[in-house]
């Protein structure tokens, strides 16, 4: 009996486990499915998917039952890194999964889609040299996985994500960069047009889909799914809602036209280049590459997933309802990291130990020595 239960336990390899999406998946599998699924999440130092040999050696050794890939090179990576991590890494993982005859779950992105409304899984941008390195590598990955599904019998599922929101984005990217800009009061006006809608993806719900897709291969194999909140949200409405949660006055409700913003961006890029010339390193947020999309709608249809056997675990949770939780998490984190100073201790609360650490380190040290250095009893071996 015990043996049968042990046999059933599956082992998965998660690539990108330190990232926003990978971290959320790792947490889910460790806390919710530990009895039936074990997850190995090697860091990029242990297993870099740029190296085909690393992938082969690791998977040969671990012999997993499935692989989930949430790795990506930084958004503004050069062509080589984007190609090697986002595309070649994907292809090599897929080749290894094919050889081991195991499912491969791949995270893709709405950057493979044009602007427009109610876009379906069949839609995609034409592959062209003018795409950003990120979009090009994600699009090529989708195309090759489809090809390998047909030609090599690869058992894969592509999950296309839109603008992702959730806790633990330690790099402050995408949605969280927008949120940070508002919290930091560095957005003076609205960099969008009235009512321009986009789709948003809830990171916390994604693990439930991945788990479901792993359990229902016959239905999900060889398929692409959009994973977004059912209803899109207008960017101006979202920004103004965040502003009111934070009780801020900025950004002003003035809509800045795109040509003005584009000129500003051009000027900033030149300025950054000039300053770099003098040895002053200036790095503009990579999200500036998406500036144009603030002025164009991009909404993804969720019909295909809704018609599948997957059931949304928290149907009422949206980017708007998640805001209070996100506000508390990120303002606390950014405050502790001294990234924002607008929100004072009133918000973060008062901590006696922290006060002692700041003002009475000697007393704190003595009190810890007096009563808090004995070995943990609950960690000691029971004799
Ligand atoms: N966040 C979004 O808004 C968004 C939107 C649409 C789609 N997506 C997709 O979702 C996936 C995850 O995105 P994310 O936001 O979670 O990214 P992220 O937070 O930037 O994390 C990226 C992860 O990739 C790992 N990685 C980078 N280079 C690697 C390499 N050579 N070998 C192995 N691992 C490597 C990083 O590990 P280290 O830290 O150790 O380098 C990190 O764990 C990506 O496929 C992305 O395209 C994200």
**In CATH, what number is assigned to the domain containing residue 133?**
3.40.50.720
Tell me whether residue 187 is in a domain: yes
- Calculate how far, in angstroms, residue 354's C-alpha sits from the geometric centre of ligand 1: 34
Residue 2 has a pLDDT of 46
Q: Residues 47, 154: one domain?
A: yes
Q: Residues 191, 115: one domain?
A: no
* Residue nearest atom 18 of ligand 1, based on CA coordinates: 19
Of 189, 207, 228, the position where a domain reaches its end is: 228
Residue 203 near ligand 1, beta carbon < 6 Å: no
Tell me whether residue 174 is in a domain: yes
Q: Residues 137, 185: one domain?
A: no
> pLDDT digit of tens for each residue in the chain (383 aa)?
445 444 579 999 999 999 999 999 999 999 999 999 999 999 999 999 999 999 999 999 999 999 999 999 999 899 999 999 999 999 999 999 999 999 999 999 999 999 999 999 999 999 999 999 999 999 999 999 999 999 999 999 999 999 999 999 988 888 999 999 999 888 888 989 999 999 999 999 999 999 999 999 999 999 999 999 999 999 999 999 999 999 999 899 999 888 877 777 777 777 777 777 777 776 767 666 777 889 999 999 999 999 999 999 999 999 999 999 999 999 989 988 888 876 655 555 667 777 888 899 999 999 999 999 998 888 876 65
Residue 1 has a pLDDT of 46
Alpha helix ranges (H) inside the chain: 2-8, 20-32, 52-62, 79-81, 89-100, 133-152, 174-183, 206-215, 217-220, 235-245, 258-277, 303-306, 323-336, 345-348, 352-359, 361-371
* Residue nearest atom 38 of ligand 1, based on CA coordinates: 44
Q: Residues 118, 248: one domain?
A: no
CA–CA distance, 184 with 339 (Å, rounded to integer): 8
CB contact at 8 A, 248 and 184: no
Residue 333 burial (C-beta neighbours within 10 Å; 0-12, 13-18, 19+): middle
pTM for the model: 0.89
Q: Residues 126, 216: one domain?
A: yes
Q: Residues 194, 104: one domain?
A: no
Residue 19 near ligand 1, beta carbon < 6 Å: yes
Q: Residues 137, 259: one domain?
A: no
Residue 146 has a pLDDT of 98
Q: Residues 142, 247: one domain?
A: no
Residue 79 structural domain: 9-162+199-228
Residue 344 has a pLDDT of 56
Residue 113 near ligand 1, beta carbon < 6 Å: no
Q: Residues 84, 158: one domain?
A: yes
Residue 70 near ligand 1, beta carbon < 6 Å: yes
Residue 241 near ligand 1, beta carbon < 6 Å: no
Tell me whether residue 253 is in a domain: yes
In testing the pocket of ligand 1, which one of 57, 71, 199 has its CB within 8 Å of the most ligand atoms? 71
Q: Residues 252, 132: one domain?
A: no
Tell me whether residue 78 is in a domain: yes
Q: Residues 93, 59: one domain?
A: yes
CA–CA distance, 46 with 15 (Å, rounded to integer): 11
Tell me whether residue 148 is in a domain: yes
Q: Residues 220, 327: one domain?
A: no
Residue 352 has a pLDDT of 75
Number of domains in the chain: 2
Tell me whether residue 330 is in a domain: yes
Tell me whether residue 377 is in a domain: no
- Calculate how far, in angstroms, residue 344's C-alpha sits from the geometric centre of ligand 1: 32
Return the ligand 1 atom nearest residue 21 CA: 16
For 360, other C-beta atoms within 10 Å of its C-beta total 12
């Amino acid at each position: 009996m015990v043996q049968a239960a042990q046999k059933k336990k599956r082992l998965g390899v998660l690539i990108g486990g330190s990232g926003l999406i990978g971290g959320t998946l790792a947490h889910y599998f460790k806390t919710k499915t530990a009895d039936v699924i074990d997850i190995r999440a090697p860091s990029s130092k242990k297993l870099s998917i740029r190296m085909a040999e690393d992938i082969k050696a690791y998977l040969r050794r671990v012999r997993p039952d499935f692989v989930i890939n949430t790795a990506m090179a930084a958004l503004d990576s050069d062509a080589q890194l984007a190609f090697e991590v986002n595309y070649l890494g994907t292809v090599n993982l897929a080749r290894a999964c094919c050889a081991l005859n195991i499912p491969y779950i791949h995270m893709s992105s709405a950057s493979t889609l044009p602007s427009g409304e109610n876009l379906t899984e069949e839609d995609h941008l034409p592959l062209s040299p003018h795409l950003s390195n990120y979009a090009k590598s994600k699009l090529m990955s989708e195309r090759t996985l489809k090809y390998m599904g047909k030609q090599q019998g690869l058992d894969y599922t592509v999950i296309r994500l839109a603008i992702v929101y959730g806790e633990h984005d330690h790099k402050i990217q995408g949605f969280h960069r927008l949120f940070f800009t508002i919290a930091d009061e560095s957005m003076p006006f609205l960099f969008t047009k009235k009512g321009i809608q986009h789709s948003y993806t809830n990171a916390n719900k994604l693990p439930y889909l991945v788990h479901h897709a792993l359990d229902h291969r016959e239905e999900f194999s060889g398929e692409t799914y959009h994973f977004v909140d059912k209803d899109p949200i207008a960017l101006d409405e979202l920004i103004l809602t965040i502003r009111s949660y934070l009780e801020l006055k900025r950004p002003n409700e003035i809509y800045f036209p795109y040509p003005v913003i584009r000129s500003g961006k051009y000027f900033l890029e030149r300025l950054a280049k000039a300053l770099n010339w003098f040895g002053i390193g200036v790095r503009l947020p990579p999200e500036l590459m998406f500036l144009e999309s603030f002025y164009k709608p991009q909404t993804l249809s969720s019909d295909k997933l809704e018609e599948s056997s997957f059931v949304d675990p928290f149907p009422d949770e949206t980017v708007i309802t998640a805001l209070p939780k996100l506000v508390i998490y990120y303002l606390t984190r950014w405050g502790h990291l001294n990234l924002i100073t607008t929100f004072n201790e009133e918000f973060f609360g008062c901590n006696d130990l922290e006060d002692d650490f700041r003002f009475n380190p000697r007393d704190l040290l003595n009190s810890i020595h007096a009563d808090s250095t004995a070995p943990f009893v609950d960690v000691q071996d029971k004799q």
